Amino acid sequence: MRRLYLPLIVIANCFPQLALGHTVEGVGKFYGGMLHSTLAPAHALALFTFALFVGQRGVTGMQFAYPAFLSLLAVGLVLAGLDYDLNSHAETALLVLATLFGIVVALNRQLPVLVYSVCGAALGMLVGLDSGTPDFTRQETALALLGCWVGDAIILILLAGAVELLRKPWQHIAVRVAASWGAASAILVLAMAFR
């Protein structure tokens, strides 16, 4: 089992800047913001499982989820830029949402379309609030948070769109398996946090 962790330890020691989200060296504040959600585990899991959740419902789910997610993400990012602090409760809430989205997709449940709006709004607000920047100038903060909004929008639209295009039965099963892995990963992270 220890051999499995060795590559991760080597990567973490060789590239410590990957763990810093907005402060990825050499790419600038905007592009660092775009990469933020891919480098923050709670954000990545929540966006991944939410994209599967929305994509599984199809275009109807997207019509309700995208506007709510993108608008509340903008509100959350503005609040994060104003140094609104959740004392790290947002990360726990993101992992709980990732677990719930993954379970719903794995069970192949179709929920009312209003649920997609509510879930998109909640996820957008939490991702935005948990995307605070370190000690940046106002201009750097604005660039990083704008990059975060653009990056999260791209991730959600591409992943959910790809899932929606999967039509064959085995592809639906693959989506459900990926969602169960996402839910299991979120549960493991939560278990380690509460240990």
Predicted pLDDT at 13: 42
Paired tokens of 117: 């709006």
Cα separation, 11 vs 6, in Å, equals 9
Mean pLDDT estimate for the chain: 85
| Percent of the chain residues topping a pLDDT of 70 | 84
Does position 55 have pLDDT exceeding 80, yes or no? yes
Contacting residues for 179 by C-beta, under 8 A, at least 6 apart: 49, 52, 53, 56, 101, 102, 103, 104, 105, 106
Cα separation, 15 vs 191, in Å, equals 26
Mean pLDDT of the region 158-162: 95
Paired tokens of 76: 């959350």
Higher pLDDT, 14 or 47: 47
Does position 60 have pLDDT exceeding 70, yes or no? yes
Does position 50 have pLDDT exceeding 60, yes or no? yes
Higher pLDDT, 194 or 92: 92
Mean pLDDT of the region 142-150: 92
Total domain count for the chain? Answer: 1
Domain, as residue range, for 114? 2-194
Q: Assign 140 a pLDDT band (cuts: 50, 70, 90).
A: confident
Mean pLDDT of the region 52-63: 94
Q: Assign 192 a pLDDT band (cuts: 50, 70, 90).
A: confident
Mean pLDDT of the region 11-20: 42
